[in-house]
């Protein structure tokens, strides 16, 4: 039996340990911990990487979404359209502005916003759209932007899982009126704690976010608006500057392992593999398969040392925290079906060929056993028993 982690952050740290320690020591020696040179340099470097004019470092991906929406003027009485199949932070950011989240279903192949459902969700109160680039794959932004343009709506990309992903050759983060990234530790570009970034080509919007992240302060103890505390700190920025140099290499490694999984699992009946449309470059923050017997497959993998995840087991519209929105089971059938079937397999740049082969073989063996028992006319008792 081989042990395979879902994500191995220790392996990544060991590969860049010396560089990271030197940068951390430099920050500690400078005693400059908030809004120092590393933050401003990271903002410039990540803006250049995403091919946008402005980047503003904030405390988390949730704050990046919230502050982008707030800077766009979203507030009480407004509606913001997004998807229910996402991490709850997408919904929290909308609600924190005082606005009402309105959901549309997902495309079952991409797990991202279904543009065909978008127009019907727009009301006179709609102020913005938040498409989510999920698992490392961009949403269909041309279709979404076309709807937004017709109705005069702002678009904020939730790019928190898509660092380096591309849509028709353009980096995510450069496609909407603003974008939000998370630097949570397990992301393709992750800090050693929390952090986030707001991206935009609009200088006025960038200025508003800079004010809002630091108490609306225009100079020391002079405040032009009421803001909040949401500063990306120097230590995290220093770590991220090291990691940004490796992001493209790491993303290509993820794509290599994704292809290995595809080659080994493509012919397993009932198992759906990640879809990569012609318009999008997937960077595989997560490698997500789906199967009607997801829970049984997950238990088998776990018993044989393979860690997996479910992203996400309960769609946002069915979360207790969102009960006030009034949605019910059955309102978004594709999101609900995905929540029952998706399974995240181990995915990180430092995976080995032996690990990918082992994970794949366990899945193939599990399916072969199910098929053999089916041929013998049994009722697959190991499923009922939790195997």
| Cβ within 8 Å of residue 4, ≥6 positions away | 305, 306, 307, 346, 351, 355, 358, 359
Which pLDDT band, with edges at 50, 70 and 90, does 377 fall under?
low
Q: Which residue pairs from 20-26 have beta carbons closer than 8 angstroms and sit at least 24 positions apart in sequence?
A: 20/239, 20/242, 23/238, 23/239, 23/241, 23/242, 24/235, 24/238, 24/239, 26/238
Reading the block at residue 1, the tokens are: 């039996």
Distance CA 99, CA 96 (A): 7
For the stretch 323-362, pLDDT in tens is 999 999 999 999 999 999 999 999 999 999 999 999 999 9
* Euclidean distance between CA atoms 139 and 173, whole angstroms: 12
The helix or strand, by DSSP H or E, that contains position 198, with its residue range, turns out to be strand 196-200
DSSP element (H, E) containing 345: strand 342-345
Condensed to tens digits (0 to 9), the pLDDT of residues 264-285 reads 999 999 999 999 999 999 999 9
Interval 305-322 mean pLDDT: 98
Buried b or exposed e, range 194-223, using 16+ CB within 10 angstroms: bbbbbbbebeebbebbbbbbbebeeeeeee
Q: How confident is the model at residue 374 (pLDDT cuts 50, 70, 90)?
A: confident
Does the pLDDT value for residue 383 go beyond 60? no
Q: From CA 189, how far away is CA 246, in angstroms rounded?
A: 9
- Dig out the tokens for 88 from the structure: 């709850």
What would the pLDDT profile of 123-179 be if each residue is shown by its tens digit? 999 999 999 999 999 999 999 999 999 999 999 999 999 999 999 999 999 999 999
Q: Can you tell me the distance from the alpha carbon of 266 to that of 222, in angstroms, rounded to the nearest whole number?
A: 60
Handedness of CA 86, 88, 94, 100 (dihedral sign): positive
Q: How far is CA 94 from CA 106, 141, 179, 206, in A?
A: 18, 20, 14, 19
| Domains of the chain and CATH, by start | 9-104+112-244 (3.40.640.10), 247-384 (3.90.1150.10)
Segment 213-237 shows an average pLDDT of 96
Mean pLDDT (whole number) for 221-227: 95
């Amino acid at each position: 039996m081989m042990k395979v982690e879902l994500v191995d952050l220790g392996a990544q740290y060991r590969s860049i340990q010396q560089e990271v320690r030197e940068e951390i020591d430099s920050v500690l020696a400078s005693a400059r911990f908030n809004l120092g040179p590393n933050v401003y340099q990271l903002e410039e470097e990540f803006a250049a990487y995403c091919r946008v004019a402005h980047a503003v470092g904030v405390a988390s991906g949730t704050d990046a979404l919230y502050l982008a929406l707030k800077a766009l003027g979203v507030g009480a009485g407004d509606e913001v359209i997004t998807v229910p199949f996402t991490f709850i932070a997408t919904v929290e950011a909308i609600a924190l502005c005082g606005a009402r989240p309105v959901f549309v279903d997902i495309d079952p192949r991409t797990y991202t916003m279904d543009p065909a459902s978008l127009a019907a969700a727009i009301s006179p109160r709609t102020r913005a759209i938040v498409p989510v680039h999920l698992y490392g794959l961009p949403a269909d932004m041309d279709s979404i932007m076309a709807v937004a343009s017709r109705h005069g709506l702002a678009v904020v990309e939730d790019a928190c899982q898509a660092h380096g992903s591309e849509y028709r050759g353009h980096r995510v983060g450069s496609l909407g009126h603003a974008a939000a990234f998370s630097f949570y530790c397990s992301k393709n570009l992750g800090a050693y704690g929390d952090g986030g970034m707001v991206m935009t080509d609009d200088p006025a919007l960038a200025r508003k976010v800079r004010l809002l992240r630091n108490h609306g302060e225009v100079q020391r103890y002079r405040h032009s608006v009421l803001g909040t505390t949401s500063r990306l700190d120097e230590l995290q920025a220093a770590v991220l500057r090291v990691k940004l140099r490796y992001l493209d290499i790491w993303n290509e490694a993820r794509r290599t392992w994704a292809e290995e999984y595809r080659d080994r699992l493509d012919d397993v009946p009932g198992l759906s593999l990640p879809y990569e449309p012609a318009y999008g470059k997937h960077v595989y923050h997560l490698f997500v398969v789906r199967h009607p017997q997801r829970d049984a497959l997950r238990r088998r993998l776990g018993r044989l040392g393979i860690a997996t995840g479910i992203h996400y087991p309960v769609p946002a519209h069915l979360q207790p925290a969102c009960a006030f929105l009034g949605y019910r089971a059955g309102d978004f059938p594709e999101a609900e079906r995905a929540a029952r079937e998706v399974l995240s397999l181990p995915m990180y740049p430092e995976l080995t060929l032996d690990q990918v082969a082992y994970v794949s073989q366990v899945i193939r063996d599990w399916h072969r056993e199910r098929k053999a028992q089916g041929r013998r006319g049994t009722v697959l008792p190991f499923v009922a028993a939790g195997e």
